[in-house]
Amino acid sequence: MVFPFTSSEDFKIEIGEEHELFRKSIREFVESKVMPRWREIEETNRIPEEILKEAAQLGIFGVGIPEEYGGQGGGHLMTALMMEEIARAVPSLSVTIGVNHLFAVPVMLFGSEEQKKKYIPPIARGEARGAHANTEPSGGSDVAGIQTRARKENGHYIISGRKVFISGAADADYLVVSARTSPPKEDKRWWGLSVFIVEKDTPGLKIGQQFKVLGMRGEQPYEVILEEVKVPEENLVGPENEGFKVIVSTYDYTRIGIAAQAVGIAQAGFEKALNYSLQRELFGQQLIQFEMIIEKIADMYMKLEAARLLTYWAATLADRGKREFVVAASLAKAFATEAAEWIARQAIQIHGGYGVDPETGVERYLRDAIITTIYEGTNEIQRLTIVRQLVRQTFGMRI
């Protein structure tokens, strides 16, 4: 029974030798250059420039971007493998890379050829940084409720509004910005939004406060203020008034990367817990010999592997161009992020007092995992997407 999918082949995960060789190369970079500096990143709340430069030299910023636009190619599964390995060490570094995808994906999907040739190659080479400014004080999950305004004057758009929780904004050379260009239609609340590319030196664009959120130290988000920001009409991404599709379609793809981040966090937490339970002795025996610890470790491992398989499956469907990848991506994002949060919590419990000591690096997994359950569509929104897609695919109905 494959309902609501059409064939058992839809559940195939296609991993080749090139994927494993790539994963090993990322693991080597992470183990030698990133992992040793996790504590520095936590304390300074910055990713060292040397790490970013080496990542650029290795082509990491171009993974998932076609070679014709300066990228490494590789697709969604390759990107997921990369995000998983990086997040296992420093999840915030995977955010730095991910926000570049949040800029590049809508341009790749809906942008003009001129936009792709101008903005994508510098992003892919790591010479420029991108960001994605959609969330507002009134909310982010309700994309149709965006209140930032853009009016057209003499071949330009004038944008005014305020965005919040925008990762990578302070270092971004280009931002994708959503704004309302027309009132919504009575039967189409989503209609009237448009998406623009805004360059960092544009007058009226300001980077406001940094939000000291719970986790992701090293890449915590910022406020973006737009005061009569003037952008040329050729910076419109996709059709005017149909930007809702641009934003939502972007998240359909990029939430696979969030699932992969969560798998990396879960892997790290599981490894820490397993190693500690083998080393720690209590009441004259190894911690792992206690039945309650055995149960925790087994459950952690089950959730970890289920999350990984869901994530690889969603990425494979996306690479195959199967429209069903949308529901798979939501399944993977919701399950993997909640699994990572649960696994991180168990890792802390297994470590006892050491689990809540920042020096051990265990408690950070929980802080970072919680963030993954929220951004790029909360898990409540993922559940809504799952059911809507399920009903639409199988019965042709909209709810």
Determine, yes or no, domain membership for 101: yes
**Residue 394's pLDDT is what?**
76
Query: Is omega for the bond preceding 4 within 30 degrees of 0, making it cis?
Result: yes
Residues 256 and 390 in one domain: yes
Task: Say yes or no to pLDDT of 14 above 70.
Answer: yes
Q: Which of 196, 226, 241 is the last residue of a domain?
A: 241
Q: 2 lies in a domain? A: no
Catalytic pick among 219, 338, 363, 376: 376
Long-range contacts formed by 137-146: CB under 8 A, 24+ apart: 137/162, 137/164, 140/165, 141/377, 141/378, 141/380, 141/381, 143/178, 143/190, 143/193, 143/244, 143/247, 143/248, 144/184, 144/189, 144/190, 144/193, 144/244, 146/178, 146/179, 146/180, 146/193
Domain range for 266 is 245-395
- 302-333 pLDDT per residue, tens: 999 999 999 999 999 999 999 889 999 999 99
In a domain, 3, yes or no: no
196: CATH: 2.40.110.10
Q: Write down the residue that tokens 């050829």 correspond to.
A: 113
- CB-based contact 259:337 (threshold 8 Å): yes
How large a percentage of the chain has pLDDT more than 90? Answer: 91
Look at the alpha carbons of 140, 146, 149, 150 in this order and tell me if their dihedral is positive or negative. Answer: positive
Q: Are residues 187 and 296 located together in one domain of the fold?
A: no
Count of domains observed in the chain: 3
Mean pLDDT computed over 34-51? 97
Q: Is the pLDDT confidence value at 245 over 70?
A: yes
Q: Which tops the pLDDT comparison, 83 or 6? A: 83
Which letter does DSSP use for residue 285 in this model?
A: E
In this structure, the strands spanning 174-180 and 130-133 are parallel
**pLDDT over 70 at 167, yes or no:** yes
Question: Is residue 302 a part of any domain in this protein?
Answer: yes
Q: Do the beta carbons of residue 337 and residue 262 sit within 8 Å?
A: yes
Residue 123 belongs to some domain of the structure:
yes
**Does a structural domain hold residue 295?**
yes
Q: What is the pLDDT of residue 284?
A: 86
pLDDT tens track for 219-229: 999 999 999 99
pLDDT of residue 1: 53
Q: Could you tell me if 216 and 307 lie in one domain?
A: no
Whether residues 251 and 388 fall in one domain? yes
Assess whether 345 and 305 both reside in one domain: yes
What distance in Å separates the CA atoms of residue 141 and residue 144, rounded to the nearest whole number? 9
- Same domain, residue pair 83 and 135: no
Of 72, 104, 128, which residue is a domain's last? Answer: 128
Query: What pLDDT does residue 127 have?
Result: 97
Same domain (yes/no): 24, 115: yes
For 186-216, how does the pLDDT look when each residue is reduced to its tens digit (9 = 90+)? 889 999 999 999 999 999 999 999 999 999 9
- Decide which of 198, 226, 241 is a domain's last residue: 241
Instruction: Examine the domain organization and report whether 338 and 376 are in the same domain.
Output: yes
In this structure, the answer to whether residues 285 and 221 fall within a common structural domain is no
Q: What is the pLDDT of residues 263-301, one digit of tens each?
A: 999 999 999 999 999 999 889 899 999 999 999 999 999
For residue 141, being part of any structural domain is answered with yes
Q: Is residue 1 part of a domain?
A: no
User: 376 an active-site residue?
Assistant: yes
Statement to judge: residues 250 and 391 lie in one domain: yes
Q: pLDDT for 381-398, tens place per residue?
A: 999 999 988 888 778 778
> What would the two tokens of residue 158 be?
């004038």
Q: Are residues 167 and 107 in the same domain?
A: no
Query: Which two tokens mark 211?
Result: 């939000």
- Whether residue 106 contacts residue 176, with contact meaning beta carbons closer than 8 Å, is answered with yes
Tell me, what CATH number does 13's domain have?
1.10.540.10
Q: Give the model confidence (pLDDT) of 55-99 as tens digits.
A: 999 999 999 999 999 999 999 999 999 999 999 999 999 999 999
Same domain for 203 and 215? yes
